[in-house]
């Protein structure tokens, strides 16, 4: 097979770095509001019917949305195997917590309204809350840790190793900066969930979603600003030393990496990336105002814009780093040394170019079919078939 030679290894690596961003953002924009609705559930719905309205706004779509996450995992495995190997085993117990939450959530959606009884339904409502709030929090905590560097090293055989005792590994993940990042992520997705509920519901559920969503938006904006300041003054960045080889074999140990004063140096080298945090602030601010004013479609779009800005700002700030190592900086994973082979990246790109447009098309069609508000009447009339 010679075809893949038409695209350089370097270009394919950049494309797959962008696609990684597309998948993470795709996940946050779609399943993000499902998680947000889960986290808002106990607060927006007081009666069983109100809660069912909230649940059924995401009922038909959460399953498809969740595939962004699963596909994200699969794409990391396929396109960035060292990243997959190091991060999934390094964040072991955090990953397990996410996993437990993500198993609980589908089951809760499906099974909650299949029996009557307050205990049964309250229990599953809790599961939906945990299944929404915990992953939303942990994803942020993970990003906070990645920005600080993760204490792993690689052996000559490329075996990822982690340092520190068992409990320490887990507790060290919950450091102040990481928790701040977790709060940003959780409040941002709650804002997004509130924007979705504003569009898809009416009456008291919509009222409460708007009120809580406005606060969540404010917290997200404040937290994001604070995290930016903290990055400027309190957290080391990383940089590749010497010549940067962009088409070498995928072996992180071939390059030298040193710690620098701050990640924000990137904004001096590539000033244009400032557009990402600007969009982040702008989107979140307009979404917050929209929630307060009760605008529907535009609020959801602004919320998406804000999330897009926030997530891409992290990626652009760190480029070309993907997962820096605080223990052994040379082992840090970068775009240039932790991808799949040239051929695999090409094959995966072809598959993505074939299927991604199809996915976007049929997902858009499904949303179009389901367009419109979910009302209390819908829930009580079709009590047997909806969630």
Partner 1 sequence: MEFDIVDLSRLQFALTVLYHFLFVPLTLGLSILVAIMETVYVMTNRPIWRQMTKFWGMLFGINFVLGVATGITMEFQFGMNWSYYSHYVGDIFGAPLAIEGLMAFFMEATFVGLFFFGWDKLSKVAHLVVAWLVAIGSNFSALWILIANGWMQNPVGAEFNPLSMRMEMTSFFEVMFNEVAQAKFVHTVSAGYVTASVFVLGVSAWYMLKGRHFELARRSIAVAAAFGLASAFSVVILGDESGYSATHSQKMKLAAIEGMWETQPAPAEFTLFGIPDQAARETHYALHIPYVMGLIGTRSLQTVIPGIDDLEAIAEARVRSGIIAFDALMEIRAKKGDVPPEITAQFEDHSNDLGFALLLKRYVEDPRQATEAQIVKAATDTVPTVWPLFWAFRVMVALGFSFVAVMGYFFFMANWKGMQFPRWSLRLAVAIIPAPWIAAELGWIVAELGRQPWTVDGVLPTALSVSHLSVADLLITLFGFVAFYTVLFIIEMGLMIKYIKKGPYMDVRETEEWQRKHEMRLSSSGEPQPLPAE
The interface with partner 1 within residues 252-291 (CB under 8 A) comprises 254
**Closest approach of Cβ 300 to partner 1, in Å?**
19
Cβ atoms of residues 136 and 92 within 8 Å: no
Name which of residues 21 to 60 contact partner 1 (CB under 8 A): 59-60
Q: Rounded CA gap, 364 and 371, in Å? A: 10
Closer CB to partner 1, residue 118 or residue 159? 159
Q: From residue 327 to residue 346, what is the string marking binding to partner 1 with x (rule CB under 8 A)?
A: -------------xx-xx--
CB atoms within 10 A of CB 380: 12
Cβ atoms of residues 309 and 325 within 8 Å: no
Closer CB to partner 1, residue 83 or residue 285? 83
Closer CB to partner 1, residue 42 or residue 60? 60
Q: Rounded CA gap, 280 and 283, in Å? A: 5
Question: Does residue 366 belong to the site contacting partner 1 (CB under 8 A)?
Answer: yes
Q: Rounded CA gap, 44 and 363, in Å? A: 27
Closer CB to partner 1, residue 151 or residue 213? 151
CA distances from 266 to 143, 184, 243, 274, 336 (A): 18, 22, 17, 10, 17
* Phi and psi at residue 15, to the nearest 5°: -60, -40
Helix (H, G, I), strand (E, B) or coil at 240: strand
Question: Does residue 227 belong to the site contacting partner 1 (CB under 8 A)?
Answer: no
Name which of residues 158 to 177 contact partner 1 (CB under 8 A): 158-162, 166
Question: Does residue 179 belong to the site contacting partner 1 (CB under 8 A)?
Answer: no
Closer CB to partner 1, residue 31 or residue 288? 31
Residues touching partner 1, count (CB under 8 A): 72
Q: Rounded CA gap, 2 and 76, in Å? A: 25
**Closest approach of Cβ 73 to partner 1, in Å?**
5
Find, among 223, 252, 221, the residue nearest to 238 by Cα: 252
Cβ atoms of residues 209 and 198 within 8 Å: yes
**Closest approach of Cβ 41 to partner 1, in Å?**
18
Name which of residues 54 to 113 contact partner 1 (CB under 8 A): 59-64, 66-67, 70-71, 73-75, 77-79, 81-82, 84-89, 92-93, 95-96, 99-100, 102-103, 105-107, 109-111
Name which of residues 367 to 386 contact partner 1 (CB under 8 A): 369-370, 384-386
Helix (H, G, I), strand (E, B) or coil at 246: coil
Find, among 51, 203, 197, 42, the residue nearest to 112 by Cα: 51
Question: Does residue 251 belong to the site contacting partner 1 (CB under 8 A)?
Answer: yes
**Closest approach of Cβ 99 to partner 1, in Å?**
5
Question: Does residue 359 belong to the site contacting partner 1 (CB under 8 A)?
Answer: yes
């Amino acid at each position: 097979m010679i075809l893949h030679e038409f695209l350089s290894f370097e270009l394919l690596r950049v494309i797959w770095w962008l696609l990684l961003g597309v998948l993470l953002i795709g996940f946050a924009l779609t399943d993000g509001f499902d998680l947000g609705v889960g986290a808002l559930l106990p607060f927006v719905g007081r009666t069983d019917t109100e809660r069912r309205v909230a649940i059924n706004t995401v009922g038909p779509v959460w399953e498809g949305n969740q595939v962004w996450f699963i596909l994200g995992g699969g794409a990391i495995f396929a396109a960035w195997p060292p990243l997959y190997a190091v991060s999934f085993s390094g964040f072991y117990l955090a990953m397990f917590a996410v996993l437990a939450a993500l198993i609980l959530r589908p089951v809760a959606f499906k099974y909650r309204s299949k029996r009557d009884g307050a205990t049964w339904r309250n229990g599953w409502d809790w599961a939906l809350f945990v299944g929404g709030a915990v992953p939303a929090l942990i994803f942020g905590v993970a990003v906070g840790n990645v920005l600080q560097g993760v204490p792993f090293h690689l052996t000559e055989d490329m075996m990822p190793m982690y340092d520190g005792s068992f409990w320490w590994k887990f507790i060290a993940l919950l450091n102040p900066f990481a928790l701040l990042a977790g709060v940003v992520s959780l409040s941002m997705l709650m804002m997004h969930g509130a924007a979705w509920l504003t569009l898809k519901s009416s009456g008291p559920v919509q009222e409460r979603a708007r009120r809580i969503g406005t606060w969540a938006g404010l917290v997200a904006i404040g937290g994001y600003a604070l995290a930016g300041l903290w990055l400027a003054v309190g957290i080391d960045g990383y940089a590749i030393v010497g010549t940067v080889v962009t088409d070498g074999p995928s072996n992180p140990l071939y390059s030298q990496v040193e710690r620098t004063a701050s990640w924000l140096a990137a904004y001096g080298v590539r000033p244009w990336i400032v557009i990402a945090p600007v969009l982040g602030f702008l989107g979140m601010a307009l979404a917050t105002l929209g929630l307060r004013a009760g605008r529907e479609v535009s609020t959801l779009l602004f919320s998406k814009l804000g999330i897009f800005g926030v997530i891409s700002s992290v990626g652009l700030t760190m480029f070309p780093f993907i997962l820096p190592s605080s223990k052994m900086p040379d082992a840090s994973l970068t775009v240039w040394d932790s991808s799949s082979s040239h051929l695999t990246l090409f094959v995966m790109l072809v598959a993505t170019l074939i299927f991604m447009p199809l996915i976007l098309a049929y997902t858009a069609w499904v949303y179009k079919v389901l367009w419109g508000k979910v009302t209390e009447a819908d829930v009580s009339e079709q009590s047997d078939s909806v969630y």
